[in-house]
Amino acid sequence: MSIEKLFSVNGLNAIVTGGASGIGLGFVEGMAENGAVVTILDRDAARIESEVARLCGLGHKVFGEVVDITDRPAMRAAFERAAARTGRLDVTFANAGIDPGEGFARPDGGRNPGSEIDAMDDAVWDRTIEINLTGVYNTVKEAARQMKPHKHGSIIVTTSIASKMVGGMVGTPYMPAKAGAAHLVRQLSLDLARYNVRINAIAPGGFITNIGGGHTHKAEVQATFAKLIPLGRMAHPDEMKGLALFLASEASSFITGAEINIDGGMLNGMAQ
C-alpha cells in the first residue's frame, strides 16, 4: 500500500463534536481538506453556520447541527442522520469540552479563594464533569452503535496533558474529568477491539484556542506558556491535523487504547 493511500481519509464519513472552533475546527478542516465528509456537532449555531458556509465554499463536504453532547436523544438522532449520509460512520472525534475557570493558584503566587475546594461552586463541578467526561461517554456510545455493525471505525477523544498531571492554575474539576476520559479510552479499547473499532486519545498541551474565554490569544499568556514549553511557543490548532489524519486513517490500524501527547515536550520538563 502506498503511503498516500495509507494516510488517506478520502470518502470517509466523520463527526466532530465541538467542531465549530479551536482544536475541533482543526480536526474538521484536516479531514474535509483531504476528502472526508464531515459533520460538525456544536452548541454555537452562528459559528456552525459560518464555518460550514466557508468550508463548503472551498468545495468541501461539511454539514453542521446544533447539538448539546449532554442531550442523549439529540445525540443519537444526530449520529443517525450523519451516518445515513454515506451509509456508515467511519470516524468520530469526541472533542467538545469546557474550561471550568481559574484554579486555586494565581501565576503571581497568590490564591483564588473562590476556587479552593471548600468554596467551589458545585454547579461548576457538575457541569465540567457532565461535559468533559459524561459527554465523551455519550459521544463514544453513539459512535460505537454506528460502527460495530460494520466492524470498522476509529474514535478519537480529546483529553489533555491535564490527564497526567496536576496544577493549581487550572480549575480543579478539569483535571479528574480529563483523567477519567483518558481512562475511559483505555477501558473501551478492550470493549470495542473485537468489533475492529479503535479508540485513542489526543492529549494537547498549550494551544491557542477560545477555551477559557480566549485568554490564550493574549501575548502575555503566550509568553508565560512559552517559558514552560521546550519548543518555546504555544501551538496553533492547525498543528493537530497531522495527528488527526494519522489516527483517523489506516496508518494507525494497529493502535488502540493509546493517548498521544501533542504538547511541545511540556510534560518532559523545561528545556535549558
Q: What is the DSSP letter of 111?
A: B
3-state secondary structure of 214: helix
Tell me the three cell numbers of residue 70.
Answer: 449532554
In the annotation, is 195 catalytic?
A: no
Distance separating alpha carbons of residues 129 and 136, to the nearest angstrom: 10
Sheet (strand 61-66) strand order: 61-66, 37-42, 13-17, 91-94, 153-158, 197-204, 259-262
CA nearest neighbour of 25 among 34, 33, 16? 16
Q: Which of 27, 174, 207, 246 is catalytic?
A: 174
Q: Do the Cβ atoms of 169 and 107 come closer than 8 Å?
A: yes
What Å distances lie between residue 37 and 11, 66, 122, 210, 250, CA to CA?
A: 6, 17, 40, 25, 17
Please list the active-site residues.
174
